[in-house]
Chains A and B, each alone.
Chain A
């Protein structure tokens, strides 16, 4: 993924874009924690709410990988496959952890 390219596409300065992505990652880390416990408690409404919020921000920033993961979380939850939701959430988490320098 090329941040310069995406930021150009979105009409933003590269450093401004990076700042937003950093904010996205920070926010998502705490969202993921909540998502984890929501999955443990089978709180469907909360899972959907968090996935919806993640999805919105991923679309905004053109982060297609995250977008696909968020969509998958929404879909598996709806289908009642919470185990898959948990797996996807883990992938999401790993991706966030490795994103340190983007």
Chain B
């Protein structure tokens, strides 16, 4: 006795197969389409599956592929039973099925089915000849052949557009996904099909998605740019189109990936913020500088007057020291905000990097961090203020070092820090891009847009001033370059310093 699953959208076929196979003592399960077949396969592992090809809700072809992709169904003997077997032979043999039977009069079909089931007891599946049984005496049907051609045409279109296209049942189960949708969602097609669409989203968004899918069920709905959802770390716009005819209801979803668009917008917003903060900082710094000079000046006078009183002199020295500290902070703040008019000189990034690394390399090695540096000798010189660029690199490297050290041992795996330089063209201009990548603690998403703000720091008090990155940002900007970064919390941080090459000529 075998357990046999028959999948066909025509009840006559299911009835015939049940009668035929049950008479021989087999246990027969039936399904009217690919989706219900997958449901059955969740709890049943049949010995044999007979599947039609043309079916609603997940075609036979897809069903075959899904069955073949599941380890628990590896041993299932898969037979395609289709009228298409007559018309589309070449494609048919591409399917990963074990046998093919062309639909024909029941007597012939019955014979072929028994032939296969008998062979199954004696021959190993993969030793069976790959041929279509029952093709003889059946006329070729030009009509369906042409239908297939137009189907292939649509498929080519769907396979190559950049929007993701999904079709869902009225219960939101995915029954079709084009390659773009698969890549946006990041789950292989075999696993994606028959999955609940709403489950692709994070839990707190699932109800919202359900609401959108349910809403009236009649009209088309858009989820636009401003209210985009997140799937697989991608920001997506949704276009939800209910499709209704007398036979079945389904929902068509068009997914548009707007992640990079969003990133560019975020960068722009960030740049505007930096500019506003810079203006404010410059104003504040300027206003503070004058009174600080006054305080230090008057303190010096007091010191002169109190040369003979050690206790008073000590207090005055402290006033001067603290005031100097304020002056230093203000100076740093100004370098974030202001373009210094110091001369820029041609220098090589490689030299700047190696002198920076000279300052920190020993500490990195001591903490077991693997350092890899990939800087080609061929990079052209660029006009920079070397000590400023060195300060930028040192800031980033110090942060990387800190992040690598902070990462808990059990999570850290290998600690590595990669530095790479390359020439990059951005908007028609050539830059030298220095990428500094570390496998440290990363940066939480919610503070990602704050890390360049002055006085923003995640380090404990006394460990950081919160000025390192804001100063770096200012320096790179003053060099007409760009400081870019991306990070994944707990995984990595990547900083990119883009410095223009054409600055040498200007």
Minimal Cβ-Cβ distance residue in B for A28: B12
Interface residue B140 (Cβ < 8 Å from any Cβ of A): no
Kindly name the residue among A24, A34, A53 whose own CB sees the greatest number of chain B CB atoms within 10 A.
A53
Q: Which DSSP category, helix, strand, loop or mixed, fits chain B's interface?
A: helix
Interface residue tally for chain A (C-beta within 8 Å): 33
Bound: A26/B246 CA distance, A: 17
Tell me the smallest distance from the CB of B88 to a CB of chain A, in Å: 13
Minimal Cβ-Cβ distance residue in B for A51: B143
Q: Are B9 and A53 in contact (CB under 8 A)?
A: yes
Interface residue B105 (Cβ < 8 Å from any Cβ of A): yes
Interface residue B107 (Cβ < 8 Å from any Cβ of A): yes
Query: Contact check: which of B11, B104, B110 meets A59 at CB < 8 Å?
Result: B104
- B105 CB contacts on chain A under 8 angstroms: 9-10, 59-62
Interface residue B420 (Cβ < 8 Å from any Cβ of A): no
Q: Are B12 and A27 in contact (CB under 8 A)?
A: yes
Write out, one digit per residue, whether chain B residues 1-21 have a CB within 8 A of any chain A CB (1) or not (0): 000000001111101100100
Interface residue B147 (Cβ < 8 Å from any Cβ of A): yes
Interface residue tally for chain B (C-beta within 8 Å): 25
Bound: A19/B15 CA distance, A: 9
CB-contacts of A28-59 with B (<8 A): 33-34, 37-38, 41, 43, 46, 48-49, 52-53, 55-57, 59
Tell me the smallest distance from the CB of B129 to a CB of chain A, in Å: 24
- A23 CB contacts on chain B under 8 angstroms: 11-12, 15
Q: Are B247 and A56 in contact (CB under 8 A)?
A: no
Bound: A80/B54 CA distance, A: 22
Tell me the smallest distance from the CB of B282 to a CB of chain A, in Å: 66
- A41 CB contacts on chain B under 8 angstroms: 245
Q: Are B15 and A56 in contact (CB under 8 A)?
A: no
Query: Contact check: which of A16, A46, A59 meets B19 at CB < 8 Å?
Result: A16
Interface residue A91 (Cβ < 8 Å from any Cβ of B): no
Interface residue B109 (Cβ < 8 Å from any Cβ of A): yes
Q: Are B106 and A12 in contact (CB under 8 A)?
A: yes
Minimal Cβ-Cβ distance residue in A for B16: A20
Bound: A20/B247 CA distance, A: 23
Q: Which DSSP category, helix, strand, loop or mixed, fits chain A's interface?
A: helix
- B110 CB contacts on chain A under 8 angstroms: 11
Minimal Cβ-Cβ distance residue in B for A77: B143
- A38 CB contacts on chain B under 8 angstroms: 245-246
Bound: A61/B109 CA distance, A: 11
Query: Contact check: which of B12, B19, B143 meets A60 at CB < 8 Å?
Result: B12
Tell me the smallest distance from the CB of A40 to a CB of chain B, in Å: 10
Bound: A66/B83 CA distance, A: 16
Bound: A38/B246 CA distance, A: 8
Write out, one digit per residue, whether chain B residues 269-294 have a CB within 8 A of any chain A CB (1) or not (0): 00000000000000000000000000
CB-contacts of B318-373 with A (<8 A): none
- A11 CB contacts on chain B under 8 angstroms: 106-107, 110
Q: Are A61 and B12 in contact (CB under 8 A)?
A: yes
Interface residue B218 (Cβ < 8 Å from any Cβ of A): no
Q: Are B245 and A60 in contact (CB under 8 A)?
A: no
Write out, one digit per residue, whether chain B residues 104-122 have a CB within 8 A of any chain A CB (1) or not (0): 1111011000000000000
A34-B246, A48-B147, A62-B105 given as contacts; is B13 within 8 A of A56 (CB)?
A: yes
Bound: A60/B147 CA distance, A: 22
Q: Are A60 and B16 in contact (CB under 8 A)?
A: yes
A46-B245, A60-B105, A74-B143 given as contacts; is B11 within 8 A of A55 (CB)?
A: no
Interface residue B173 (Cβ < 8 Å from any Cβ of A): no
Minimal Cβ-Cβ distance residue in B for A41: B245
- A48 CB contacts on chain B under 8 angstroms: 144, 147
Query: Contact check: which of B9, B16, B147, B246 meets A78 at CB < 8 Å?
Result: B147
Bound: A38/B104 CA distance, A: 27
Minimal Cβ-Cβ distance residue in A for B9: A53
CB-contacts of B19-35 with A (<8 A): 19
Minimal Cβ-Cβ distance residue in A for B84: A52
Tell me the smallest distance from the CB of B146 to a CB of chain A, in Å: 6
Bound: A41/B247 CA distance, A: 13
A49-B54, A53-B9, A57-B13 given as contacts; is B106 within 8 A of A10 (CB)?
A: yes
Q: Are B106 and A43 in contact (CB under 8 A)?
A: no
Bound: A41/B243 CA distance, A: 13
Q: Are A57 and B246 in contact (CB under 8 A)?
A: no
Minimal Cβ-Cβ distance residue in A for B139: A71
Tell me the smallest distance from the CB of B375 to a CB of chain A, in Å: 59
Can you pick out 12 interface pairs between chain A and chain B where the beta carbons lie within 8 Å of each other? A10-B106, A11-B106, A11-B107, A24-B12, A27-B12, A33-B246, A48-B147, A52-B144, A56-B83, A59-B83, A60-B105, A61-B12
Beyond A23-B12, A62-B106, 17 additional contacts (C-beta under 8 Å) are A11-B107, A12-B106, A20-B15, A33-B246, A38-B245, A46-B245, A48-B144, A52-B54, A52-B83, A53-B54, A56-B103, A60-B12, A60-B109, A61-B105, A62-B105, A74-B143, A78-B146
Counting from the closest, the 5 A-B pairs by CB-CB distance are A11-B107, A10-B107, A57-B12, A10-B106, A56-B83
